[in-house]
Amino acid sequence: MRIARVLAAVAVAGLIGAACVPPPPPPPPLTLSDLNGFFNGTSSYVNGEGCFARELFFNVTYAVPNRAREVNLDIDGCVEQTTGNADFSYLGTFVIDTAVGRLTGKAAGTIDIDNGTHELTLTVKASSGDWQGVRGALRNPILCDCGAQDPQVPIPVTGAVAALPVP
């Protein structure tokens, strides 16, 4: 009987002690900097399709060292002729899917066909999941010889994503 009381007292003390342990703190909020990274991916295009020159698509996936784990970036936009320093402009939309949510918005920038650089800015307009409420912009340089191949063949691209400072 005495052993049973001692065991009961130890069990109750253990339950009380376990109840007093605070839960772990929530993870820090995600920011656009959590999407920073380098990638390899593919591009494809369709001539015309509602765009002056062509509709140009990018699809890339890369890993990040945080709870988002993997970033899937899809960009879809129109290539247009410009009168500025760049040979063409790009205007479209993007979707970023991660393990913890989604960001969507506007993709805009310039294309220099002489060296194959696409200098895009991705402006977040909506976000969900752990990204809820996140706004801002990402710099997205892409290197691609996107006009030199058959549009039916995926074109290799390389590039980066980097959060721009919040004004």
pLDDT in tens, 24-83: 998 899 999 999 999 999 998 887 667 877 888 999 999 999 999 999 999 999 988 876
pTM for the model stands at 0.82
Q: Which long-range contacts (CB under 8 A, 24 or more apart) does 28-34 make?
A: 29/130, 30/66, 30/67, 30/68, 30/100, 30/101, 30/130, 30/131, 30/134, 31/134, 31/136, 31/163, 32/124, 32/134, 32/136, 32/137, 32/138, 32/163, 32/164, 33/163, 34/64, 34/66, 34/68
Domain that holds residue 58: 2-163
**Structural domain count of the chain:** 1
